[in-house]
Structure 1
């Protein structure tokens, strides 16, 4: 009798509660899918490039210019050969050098193995300062 009573009690307890684990699993999977496929804001920086098919690379002029170097290893930024560990220091030195001679061309020379982020921060700085007289050095 005792064995039959335990069998009846355990089957009654299991039929009373509904197992919501599969439903919760599906809800979490759908939630993760929606979060991963949601539109993220992409930041862009407009750069004007030559549109003519006849345009060729032009050599660097011998005129005086302000040289910005992007190196492949830290420190990433240099201004006329002087390196800066922090971008804030580089930005302050660049702004003061450019304000001293605003008619100078700005030449950006990036190492081919340099990461893209330091170059993008320099281009954003040029855009914030509204500097449009810029050349980017590249190998032919």
Structure 2
């Protein structure tokens, strides 16, 4: 049997030191979190329609980008632009000359979804934030 002094200075030496055990547990936990594969899942949702008008007023005129259903598919500030490459250069030039202006995208309902995704990918690649997507009010 182990005896200790009444002063209590040896009582702390009899308890096990858990610090190394905690270190190993945290290392294993971090390893498992970093190596766990996360499967991203998406759900198909039907977006709600609104009957109210949402108006946003800005102090400056916005940079407007339009997607049409018929060629030429691209328009900037109300002027048609022939070709995707010319449109990209025109958008970058307009954003560089007016960085404080918000960007508004208006797409034709019968327009190509592929063109819309192409435009959104281009804006994201160049870190251009679109502040509004124009839509018609649902009157049904």
TM-score by length of 1: 0.57
Distance 1:57 1:129 in 2: 30
After TM superposition, the runs of 4+ consecutive aligned structure 1 residues lying more than 4 A away are: none
- Give the length in aligned residue pairs: 88
Give CA deviations for 1:72-114 in whole Å, capped at 9, x if unaligned.
1111000011111211000000000000011111000001111
Describe the SS at the equivalent of 2:118.
Answer: helix
Hey, what does 2:41 align to over in structure 1? Answer: none
1:38-117 pair list within 5 angstroms: 58-62=54-58, 63-117=60-114
Q: Check whether the contact 2:105–2:130 (CA below 8 A) recurs between aligned residues.
A: no
Q: Check whether the contact 2:66–2:78 (CA below 8 A) recurs between aligned residues.
A: yes
Distance 2:123 2:66 in 1: 14
Q: Give the root-mean-square deviation of aligned CA atoms.
A: 2.3
Structure 1's unaligned 5+ residue stretches are 1-53
Report whether the alignment pairs 1:130 with 2:127: yes
Q: Which has the higher helix share?
A: 1
Distance 2:69 2:123 in 1: 20
Describe the SS at the equivalent of 1:92.
Answer: helix
Deviation at 1:115, TM superposition (A): 1.0
Distance 1:105 1:128 in 2: 17
